[in-house]
Amino acid sequence: MKRKENLLRVEKTEKSGDSWDLVVIGGGASGLGVALDALSRGLQVLLLEKADFAKGTSSRSTKLVHGGVRYLAQGEVGLVFEALKERGRLLKNAPHLTVNQPFIIPLYTIFDRLKYSIGLKIYDWMAGGLRLGKSRFISPEETYRRLPKIRRENLRGGIVYHDGQFDDARLALMVARTCDDMGGCMLNYTKVNELSKDASGRINGLVFRDVVGKNNYKVRAKTVVNATGVFADKILQMDRPDAQKMIQPSQGVHLVLDGSFLGGSDALMIPETSDGRVLFAVPWQGKLVVGTTDTLRKKPKMEPQPLSSEITFILETAGQYLKKAPRREDVLSVFAGLRPLAAPKEGSTKTKEISRSHKVIVSDSQLVTITGGKWTTFRKMGEDTVDVHYRIHGIKAVESTSAGKHLHGYLEHPEEGPLHLYGADAATIRALQQSNPEWAQPIHPDYPYTGAEVVWSVREEMAIKVEDFLSRRCRILLLDAKAALHMAPRVAALMAAELGKDEEWIMSELEEFYKLAKKYLIQT
């Protein structure tokens, strides 16, 4: 993806007065799903993201591609059917970004065995031909062998089931690159400031600002899609200042621990915590991601802060199941994301009462808004949104082909090792390492990331800021915030050389990144 080239395309279209078929506001899971599906039908697509791709909620998930066992318990059968189908498709289309992850539910009563065995057999059946593996009961001995660091008292066995796991931010980048490969015009750091309308009050375009180049652009569009997640209300109020709020942000917090706290390669699923939530402890890139919470917040923020009570809840709950109870000083990183849930009925404060399914809404001005949903169903969310584009224009819909689209970097059997997530691009990154001895060197003694990956992220993945690389091109900020702080000066120097920036830019970027990274550290 070449940012300058894409901006030149926008300028050319602006001068000619041509309209884009779809202009998508938002470069997270929802917006990328819309762009991917629209391009699969041959539409002309411009996507605008005010920060970096997946900067918000879409890079802060539990890293699961899943049908949603807990949604089944809540009776959301349709949502689970849809998610299981999409889970299977995503694992087929992006084997370099996804894995089949076995989960184990430890059992401490005979009733638990009966309850979860039945529920997970239904889950298996619902997945049909896209099932990842059969759920089954395992003995206390096998449970303990596979989860060597869980508490053994009263353990009566476990149930193994399968779901998918992925790298959310890298998936976002690979979807963005797929869209770019398909002719989409993808731009990060572009802030929408105004919606334009025709004489009848129908939206026919928008004005956005390139935050990097400081230029404004006015573009025409047949359809504008608001796919801004927890910030959807801001675009709705840009359309109509008196628009009622639709979004209720719900915060999910995750703690990252050393992988030794659980041991083995299986994930732990605690199906019912003290307050009725589900808690996961999932091995991810050599660490253990533990979460999550479900806390209503009043206002959406780009960098939401975990509450001390949320951190305590996760530590205490995990401590009830692990031999060695984790403490605050064991946390390598903490991150929070905000789910864009539909606002609940007046007087309700329970997040469990708010549906997780997505909704496509059309305003009087024909602004199309996609809300809700989750990463697993991002492609289906896009398909449903693009269907609405055809409907509001009274055009016969072109059939979607996004369900079978292999994502950028696709290899049926991607290589193992540190460049696994790059898929087919790994060979080019190795060539960069060989072309310059400095680029072949690890940026941190304990992690495999090299200078070549920084160079690649600037040249091919639109990395603009130090944070873009350390948080989303590689995931070190989420995996080990102290290591990210250590890596920042080298990353800044490599990026500056590629971007043609001076020492002043390096110092400004480092100051900004240090301030950000401290939010990922728990003060003990």
- Give the helix, strand, coil percentages of the chain, each rounded to 5: 40, 25, 35
Taking alpha carbons only, the member of 519, 470, 518, 476 closest to residue 494 is 470
DSSP helix/strand/coil, 442: strand
Asked if the 248-341 domain carries CATH number 3.30.9.10, the reply is yes
pLDDT in tens, the chain (524 residues): 999 999 999 999 999 999 999 999 999 999 999 999 999 999 999 999 999 999 999 999 999 998 887 777 677 788 888 999 999 999 999 999 999 999 999 999 888 888 889 889 988 998 888 889 999 999 999 999 999 999 999 999 999 999 999 999 999 999 999 999 999 999 999 999 999 999 999 999 999 999 999 999 999 999 999 999 999 999 999 999 999 999 989 999 999 999 999 998 999 999 877 777 789 999 999 999 999 898 999 899 999 999 999 999 999 999 999 999 999 999 999 999 999 887 655 444 444 434 557 899 999 999 999 998 889 999 999 999 999 999 999 999 999 999 999 999 999 999 999 999 999 999 999 999 999 999 999 999 999 999 999 999 999 999 999 999 999 999 999 999 999 999 999 999 999 999 999 999 999 999 999 999 999 999 86
Q: Is the distance from CB of 53 to CB of 30 less than 8 angstroms?
A: no
Taking alpha carbons only, the member of 177, 164, 208, 229 closest to residue 29 is 229
CA distances from 43 to 23, 32, 198 (A): 10, 14, 22
Query: How is residue 188 written in tokens?
Result: 């990060």
**pLDDT given for residue 97 in this prediction:** 97
What residue ranges do the domains of the chain occupy? 3-57+169-245+357-404, 66-164, 248-341, 420-520
Fold of 3-57+169-245+357-404: FAD/NAD(P)-binding domain (3.50.50)
- The whole-angstrom separation of Cα 463 and Cα 495 is 9
**pLDDT given for residue 78 in this prediction:** 82
CATH superfamily of 420-520: Alpha-glycerophosphate oxidase, cap domain (1.10.8.870)
Secondary structure, 3-state, 90-153: HHHHCCCCEEEEEEEEEECCHHHHHHHHHHHHHHHHHHHHHCCCCCEEECHHHHHHHCCCECCC
**pLDDT given for residue 344 in this prediction:** 56
Instruction: Please write the tens of the pLDDT for every residue from 471-513.
Output: 999 999 999 999 999 999 999 999 999 999 999 999 999 999 9
List, in order, residues 6 or more apart from 162 with CB less than 8 Å away.
100, 101, 102, 103, 131, 132, 133, 135
Secondary structure (DSSP) of 496-512? HHHHT--HHHHHHHHHH
- The whole-angstrom separation of Cα 187 and Cα 46 is 8
Give the position of tokens 């719900």. Answer: 250
What are the φ and ψ backbone dihedral angles of 510, each rounded to 5 degrees?
A: -65, -40
Q: Is the distance from CB of 248 to CB of 341 less than 8 angstroms?
A: yes
List, in order, residues 6 or more apart from 436 with CB less than 8 Å away.
451, 452
- The whole-angstrom separation of Cα 340 and Cα 324 is 35
Bridge-based pairing state of the strands 98-107 and 157-166 = antiparallel
